[in-house]
């Protein structure tokens, strides 16, 4: 439920506004304040976010976004006439996604990563089918659990077993459990994504009864298309979905990719007319531009993202912050995970860091008793990398985080330092307008 205090505050503001125009100014002012603070004064370490390029932002405000788009590509597949240039834009987007991910099929119409997850499960299951997904406490995401799309469409959800103190799937236990359950789908949707998963091994097990392997690459799409993470479709996944934001660094939206001809009709029919009507062609055009940016700059971009993540982790540990998985090099993605100790919870740490203009989010650790009181903090390096930061900046950021968490420095004093620091990082790189950082 929404926080009633926030809604009541908004209601009071509206009551004080003398005109509807003044009400509009309230909205615009809030947007401007967010851009000034989050976009200019904060170090954003939220792994689920990335700044978009000038071209992507421009297209999100373009005239084409006012046009209806109902139907599939092609003059005989639309509900409306006047679609010839929209067909061209959508076709370019599809072909660019296929090129970026080396796939036979791609669909761009889904309004978010969650809708892509719903498409995957709906196209390959029927209500009552058993599936296996990663529990939240092991880095899984709600999008693949009972309170997400699988639960909504009536699937029976079982846990993929993990080794207790690691992020690794317990393949021996999985084999035993899966052979008994014979899940229709094994779905890998990870909100905490540090290392590759044993996709080929999982697929070899579930192939015995015709099970499907589904990879929700919400966080890893940019890493995958740039060659800095495992290629799920090449390793046995039947379907891959993801968010067009996050590491892919495009507009918010959903992408679904696959190679199997036999899945094409069921996926297409699930997307339209079931889950989409008009699907915001401005977003589609912006996604196509983001794909060209990843094709041009993705290799160097994602390489630096991973370097920054590992470097930040090392400096955090050098400063006394408990950083997980040192023995494995901390991470092979854009994410790292730290323990909230000596604070009581991850939420306490995240809120203290927010006061210091350092934006993060809490995350369950493998030994937490439940996911309601997580004791970890997830940090991501996509946004700071796209703003031109490299290894030297990671040391400074680590020092500020340790000042807040361990040294109990006044967060407001740290916030002033962070705001001054961020004045040097206003340009978005790894895009056609600005190229590479120096």
Torsion angle, alpha carbons of 419, 421, 424, 429, to 10: -90
In whole angstroms, how far apart are CA 180 and each of 126, 128, 169, 206, 317?
19, 16, 17, 11, 43
Angle at 72 between CA 113 and CA 268, to 5 degrees: 55
User: For the chain, where do the domains classified as CATH 3.40.640.10 start and end?
Assistant: 54-291
Contact 224, 251 (CB under 8 A): no
Question: CA distances (Å), 393 to each of 52, 59, 224, 430, in order?
Answer: 21, 31, 25, 18
The set of residues, in sequence order, having a beta carbon less than 8 Å from that of 141 and lying 6+ positions away, is 134, 148, 189, 190, 191, 216, 218
Q: CATH 3.90.1150.10 residue ranges in the chain?
A: 298-422
Alpha-carbon distance of 292 to 39, in angstroms, equals 24
Spatial separation of the C-alpha atoms in residues 427 and 73, rounded to whole Å = 36
Q: Which two tokens stand for residue 207?
A: 């192939």
Report the pLDDT value the prediction gives residue 236, as an integer from 0 to 100.
Answer: 97
Assign domain 54-291 to a CATH class.
alpha beta
Cα 38 to chain centroid distance, Å, stands at: 18
What gap in Å lies between CA 41 and CA 423, rounded to an integer? Answer: 7
> Would you list the DSSP string of 45-76?
--TT--PPPHHHHHHHTSGGGGS---B-SSTT
Q: How many Cα neighbours within 13 Å face the side chain of 319?
A: 22
pLDDT along the chain (438 residues), means of 10: 96 98 98 97 97 98 94 92 96 98 97 96 97 94 95 97 88 98 97 96 98 98 97 98 97 97 96 90 98 98 98 98 96 97 91 98 86 90 98 98 96 98 98 97
pLDDT at 277: 86
First-to-last CA distance in the chain? 46
Say what the pLDDT of residue 53 is. 98
The set of residues, in sequence order, having a beta carbon less than 8 Å from that of 27 and lying 6+ positions away, is none
User: Among residues 103, 49, 395, 42, which one has the least CA distance to residue 238?
Assistant: 103
Residue-level pLDDT at 413: 98
CA distance 284 to 65: 9
CA–CA separation, 377 and 130 (whole Å): 32
pTM of the model: 0.96
Burial label, 19 (beta-carbon count in 10 A; 0-12, 13-18, 19+): exposed
Which pLDDT value is given to residue 240? 98
- Comparing C-alpha atoms, which of 153, 95, 94 is closest to residue 121? 153
SS3 content of the chain, % helix, strand, coil (to 5): 50, 15, 35
Distance CA 139, CA 142 (A): 10
Altogether, the residues listed in the chain come to a count of: 438
- State which fold the 298-422 domain adopts: 3.90.1150
Which structure tokens are listed for 210? 């015709």
**DSSP alpha helices (H): ranges in 319-345?**
none
Both structure tokens of 269: 């029919």
Q: 198 and 169 in contact (C-beta within 8 Å)? A: yes
Measured CA to CA, the distance from residue 244 to residue 241 in angstroms comes to: 10
């Amino acid at each position: 439920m929404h926080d009633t205090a926030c809604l009541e505050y908004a209601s009071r503001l509206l009551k004080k506004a003398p005109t509807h125009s003044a009400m509009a100014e309230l909205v615009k002012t809030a947007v401007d304040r967010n851009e000034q603070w989050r976009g200019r004064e904060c170090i954003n370490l939220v792994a689920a976010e990335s700044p978009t390029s000038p071209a992507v932002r421009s297209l999100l405000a373009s005239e084409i976004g006012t046009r209806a788009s109902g139907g599939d590509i092609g003059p005989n597949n639309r509900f409306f006439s006047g679609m010839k240039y929209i067909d061209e834009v959508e076709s370019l987007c599809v072909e660019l996604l296929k090129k970026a991910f080396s796939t036979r099929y791609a669909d761009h119409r889904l309004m978010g990563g969650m809708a892509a997850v719903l498409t995957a499960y709906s196209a390959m299951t029927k209500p009552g089918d058993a599936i296996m997904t990663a529990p939240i406490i092991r880095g899984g995401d709600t999008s693949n659990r009972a309170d997400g799309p699988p639960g909504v469409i009536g699937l029976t959800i079982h846990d993929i077993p993990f080794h207790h103190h690691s992020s690794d799937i317990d393949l021996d236990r999985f084999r035993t459990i899966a052979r008994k359950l014979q899940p229709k789908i094994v779905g890998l949707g990870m909100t905490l994504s540090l290392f590759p998963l044993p996709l080929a091994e999982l697929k070899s097990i579930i192939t015995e009864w015709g099970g499907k392997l589904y990879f929700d690459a919400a966080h890893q799409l940019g890493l995958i298309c740039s060659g800095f993470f495992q290629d799920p479709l090449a390793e046995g996944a039947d379907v891959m979905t993801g968010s067009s934001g996050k590491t892919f660094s495009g507009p918010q939206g959903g992408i679904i990719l696959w190679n199997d001809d036999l899945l094409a009709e069921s996926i297409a029919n699930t997307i339209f007319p079931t889950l989409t009507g008009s699907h915001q062609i401005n977003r589609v055009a912006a996604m196509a531009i983001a794909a060209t940016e990843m094709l041009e700059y993705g290799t160097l971009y994602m390489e630096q993202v991973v370097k920054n993540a590992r470097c930040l982790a090392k400096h955090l540990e050098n400063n006394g912050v408990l950083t997980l998985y040192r023995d494995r090099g901390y991470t092979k993605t854009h994410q790292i995970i730290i323990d909230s100790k000596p604070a009581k919870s991850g939420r306490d740490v995240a809120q203290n860091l927010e006061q210091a203009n350092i934006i993060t989010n809490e995350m369950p650790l493998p030994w937490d008793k439940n996911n309601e009181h997580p004791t970890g903090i997830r940090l991501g390096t996509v946004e700071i990398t796209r703003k031109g930061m490299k290894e030297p900046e990671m040391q400074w950021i680590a020092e500020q985080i340790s000042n807040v968490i361990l040294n109990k420095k006044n967060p407001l004093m740290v916030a002033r330092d962070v705001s001054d620091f961020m004045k040097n990082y206003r340009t978005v790189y790894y895009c056609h307008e600005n190229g590479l950082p120096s």
